[in-house]
Each structure stands twice: as C-alpha cells, then as structure tokens.
Structure 1
Amino acid sequence: MAAQNPDMQTPSSDFSRAGVQSGVATQSQLPSPIQLPTGFFNNTLKLDESNYVLWKGQVLAALVGGGYEDFIYGTTQPPPLFLDDLSQVPNPDHKLWHRTDKSVMSFLFSSLSPEPLSQVVCCTSAHAVWESLKQRFESSSTTRVINLRTQMQQVKKEGKTMQQYINTVKMFADQLSAIGETVQYKDYIWYLLEGLPMEYDPIVTAVYSRPDQPSIEEIQNLLLNFDLRVEKRHVSDCVLPQVQLSSLTSNAGT
C-alpha cells in the first residue's frame, strides 16, 4: 500500500474525482490527498539548469496520475468563500481547495534544487509556480542549446584522463537531451574525436575510415584501450632510463 507523504496531507475525505464544472471545484470534485510510494522524494529528480524536460515528465506523471493537473494548469478555481451570499456561512470546500493547492505546491517545491526553488518560493499558488518555472526554462531553451553546443565543441582532452574526457562530452550531450535537443550520432562522434590531441590521430583515422558505423560505446572503448597503451608506453619510457642509470651507477661502484 502506498504511503502518504506527510508534506502533502490534506483533510481526509471520500471525495470522488468527477470533472471540474465551470472551472470551480466543489466538495465532490476535489481529489483525495496525494498518495506517493515510500521514499518517492528520495528518488525524485531535482530540477536544476540541465534537466527541465526530464523533471517535467516525472512531475507530470505523478500529478496527472493523482488527478492534480487542474491545479498546475490553472483550470480549477477555488469554490466560493461562503455557502450562499445571504447566510454568510463559510464554505468548507473553499478552505479545502486552498489546502489541496498548497499540498501540490509543497510537492513541486520538494522536487526543486535550491536555485529554482528560491525563485518560486514566494508564489501563492501551484499554478503560479508551474508557470514561473515554465517561462524560465522553456523560454531560455534556444539560448541554452547554443551555449551547450558551443561548450561541447570546445571540450579538449588536455589535462584529463580519457574517461574524464568521455564523461565531459557525454555530460553536455545529456544536458542537451534533457532540454529536448538530442545530439545526433555523427555530431556526437565529431565532438568526441575533434577534441583529441594529435597522438590519437590513428584512432580518429580508423574510425572515419570504417565502412560500417561503429557504436558510440565501441568507439569509446577503442579510445580507452588506446589511451591505456599510450600510458603504459610513457611509463616504460620513464622507467627504463632510470633502471639503466641505476645499473650503470651500481657497476661503477664495484
């Protein structure tokens, strides 16, 4: 049985999930409290500058699955403050609607890293939080794509191990994919090979000369194996003269 997140509680009720009529939710139409698996927030991807598309898909799946999409899309409005204008009796659904909206806000806040959270923490509704994040991350996607591609093109192996270099190239490719800009195979291979120093030209030539299309993983393994051979050769070149010098010194003393 799914465990209820303590941060997402709203008053318990047997409310059904009928559609919202005229944009105003009534007691029979408000969704039940959010039910999430134990440890959900421990495994939730936190929104940052690089993963908006992934974060959005994850959050939407949880909220739509729970029947809360009207709160983030702004298609539901709070019920009247009073049951009727004459009696001025407080409408319990009004308070319940706001508590449900706050619980959805709490859910959104819990899925944000500190920087985006600081920019929406003053929002007064779940819809306002959702729209603020949408405007920030979707409107800047074109500029971010250009910046990420430029940075990816400028990556060099200099000062990095081959694994570190491969991880750096992959990091930029993953960040582009996270905002909906998938890096094509030929582009990825070009980025990966163009940042290598001249000593890797034999591998670059071999890859470009192949009649088939080797997988990215195969090319990365070729680079790692070649790098290992280069490293061993450098070690041998350093150790051998030292051994010879030690031998000469020893012979001279006898």
Structure 2
Amino acid sequence: MTVPSIPESSTATTSPQVILMGTNNSNQHQSLIAINSTQVPIKLTKGGNYAAWRSQFENLFFGYGLMGYLDGTKPCPPTTIAASTSIEQPSANPDHQIWLRQDRLLLHAIQVSCIGAAQSIVTRSTTSAQGWNKLEATYANRSNTRKLGLLDSLTNVTLVDQSVADYIQAIENILDNLELIGHPVDDRATVIHTLNGLGPAYLPLASAIRARDTPITFEELYDKLLDHEAFLQRDEAKKGNPVVTVQFNQRTFNRKGCNQQGNLSPHGTTNFHSHQPSLGSSPTGNRSYRSNQGSQYRPTQ
C-alpha cells in the first residue's frame, strides 16, 4: 500500500478532511472523509432534539456517499484476498483497512456530536452502525410509553421565562420526535397546544385566534406571536417615560408656590412659600420682612 497523501484543500476548516489512500492493485485512489464539527452544529443532548440531530447526519452522510456504513449496504471487505493460484498465499486486503478507518472516522463524528448521557451510549461502540443503532433504539423508541411521554411534554410546554422563538423551537422538537416514532400531530392540534401554553400577556391574541371562522396554520400563528411579542416589548419600554414627565411637572408646579411640603425644585432650591408669615407679622415683630426669596414687604404708610 502506498503512503497516504493529504491534498492542500484538506486543511480548510469549512470542508471535510479528505485523505487519499492508494492500493497496490490499481492506480486508483480511495479517500477517507473526516467530518468537521462545523458541519454538525446540532449536538444531541437528552434526546429532545434527536430528530433534528439525526436529519443533519443523514443529509451529510448521504451527500458524501457514506450511508452504506450505517445501513449495512456497504459491509466491511474481507481481511485477505484469495490467491489466484494454489501455490500463492492469500494477501492482505487493503480495502479492509480503508473501510475500518473510514468507519471509525464516522463513529468519531457521531460521538463528538453527543453530549452527556447521549455520548455515553456510543462510548462502547466499535462501529458507526453500532453507535447509530444504539442511539436510535434509545431515542426513537416506538413504544406507547414513548408516545405518551412526548405528548405529555407537548401539553406541558409553556411560554414562561423564554422568548417566542425558544417556545416554538421546543414545540417543534417534540413534534419532530413524535413524527420520528410514527405518531405525527396534525397542524390544527399543534395550534391548539401552542395556544394553551401561552401566558396571560398573550390572552387577547389567543382569544382572537380562537374566535376566527377559518383555522390558522402553525406558521401563521408563529408570525403573529412574534408580532405580539414585539408589541409587548415596545409597550414595556414606554412605561417608564410618563413617570418622569409627571415628576417633572409636579416639581415645576411646586416651584410656583403651590406645594405645601417645602419640596425641592428641579434646580435644587427649597420652596418656602407655604412657610412665609402672613402680611403684617414677622418672627421678629417688625412690619418689614425679607423672605428667603429676596422679596421685601413694605407696609403702607
């Protein structure tokens, strides 16, 4: 077997690493493909996003012609090549090693895309098909218990302490998993579940949608929820402005002498209008009294 050569393009981080492997029997080259982590951005956590995780791998492996490693249509070649004559000894089959190396690269790509408990499921796997099937058996279980658990999650998901985008994403993950195990939820039921999970702030919108004569689609509902979320955010941002205006007007009003509490004016001076003595009297008994505002009373002679 010839020495492997790595083309210059294989160093790019945005494309898979391709290593060309030569054989002793022909001048043709076979390639090993190493999947980069940037090509599989969705990480499998606790199974809630298994459908999306699986879809990205199926599309990627199909595009590179690697699905045969997972579904068994590309089995491992024999370890040796039979001799053409009785006096010759069987020779090592280079395709066997190439297959094993490619399969381990696929298993590695699957393993590093899993987090936590999902990763431990494939840790003891020795082939990509074995790890793939273990994950499917765990997270794509078609039992009635799995179905009821997902439906219960769909019923309990609510728009609390999260954005509309995160809320819809959580619903879509559950729907994908239900469809994966053969129990899809129709669009009308999805809309009902989504409306049931909305909080009090979205009650006017939910009531208007329920009162419609024509049903709304899940995509249309998503758009309306985003619009209502933006409206609530704008309304919340405006709530602080009237308070500042009222306080300023009140202080301006005090400045004119109508405040009976001696509050500070906006310029930081204290208003003592309500504490001035009445005309004709002063704390010292004089008929001429100079107030704190600099004005002077002169009695009529």
Tell me how far 1:133 sits from its aligned partner: 1.7
Tell me how far 1:172 sits from its aligned partner: 1.9
Q: Distance in 1 between matches of 2:136 and 2:125?
A: 14
Tell me how far 1:139 sits from its aligned partner: 1.3
CA contact (8 A) 1:9 1:103 kept: no
Q: Where do residues 63-74 of structure 1 align in structure 2 (5 Å cutoff)?
A: 63-74=61-72
> Any idea what SS the aligned residue of 2:140 has?
helix
The amino acid across from 2:155 in the alignment is Q
Q: Alpha carbons of 1:229 and 1:203: their partners in 2 closer, same or farther (altered >3 Å)?
A: farther
Q: Alpha carbons of 1:237 and 1:209: their partners in 2 closer, same or farther (altered >3 Å)?
A: farther
CA contact (8 A) 1:51 1:179 kept: yes
Please say which structure displays the higher CA radius of gyration: 2
The amino acid across from 1:203 in the alignment is L
Aligned identity (percent) is 19
Q: Distance in 1 between matches of 2:117 and 2:9?
A: 29
Match of 1:210 among 212, 229, 232: 212
Which residue is equivalent to 2:288? none
Count of residue pairs brought into register by the alignment: 236
Q: Over aligned residues, Cα RMSD in angstroms?
A: 4.2
Tell me how far 1:208 sits from its aligned partner: 1.9
Tell me how far 1:235 sits from its aligned partner: 4.3
Which residue is equivalent to 1:120? 122
Higher relative contact order (CA 8 A, sep 6+): 1
Tell me how far 1:242 sits from its aligned partner: 5.5
The amino acid across from 1:210 in the alignment is R
Match of 1:60 among 55, 58, 61: 58
Q: Distance in 1 between matches of 2:252 and 2:185?
A: 55
Q: Distance in 1 between matches of 2:141 and 2:238?
A: 50
Q: Which has the higher strand share?
A: 2
Once structures 1 and 2 are overlaid, which stretch shifts more, 231-240 or 100-109? 231-240
Stretches of structure 1 lacking an aligned partner (at least 5 in a row): 16-26
Q: Distance in 2 between matches of 1:96 and 1:156?
A: 50
- Tell me, yes or no, if structure 1 residue 77 matches structure 2 residue 76: yes
CA contact (8 A) 1:109 1:121 kept: yes
Tell me how far 1:185 sits from its aligned partner: 3.7
Q: Alpha carbons of 1:66 and 1:147: their partners in 2 closer, same or farther (altered >3 Å)?
A: same
TM-score, normalised with respect to structure 1: 0.67
- Tell me, yes or no, if structure 1 residue 92 matches structure 2 residue 93: yes
1:74-106 CA distances to partner (integer Å, 9 max, x unpaired)? 341341447459866551334333233323323
Q: Distance in 2 between matches of 1:51 and 1:2?
A: 36
Q: Distance in 2 between matches of 1:137 and 1:86?
A: 53
Q: Where do residues 134-145 of structure 1 align in structure 2 (5 Å cutoff)?
A: 134-139=136-141, 143=145, 145=147
Q: Alpha carbons of 1:51 and 1:232: their partners in 2 closer, same or farther (altered >3 Å)?
A: closer
Tell me how far 1:238 sits from its aligned partner: 6.0
Q: Alpha carbons of 1:5 and 1:108: their partners in 2 closer, same or farther (altered >3 Å)?
A: farther
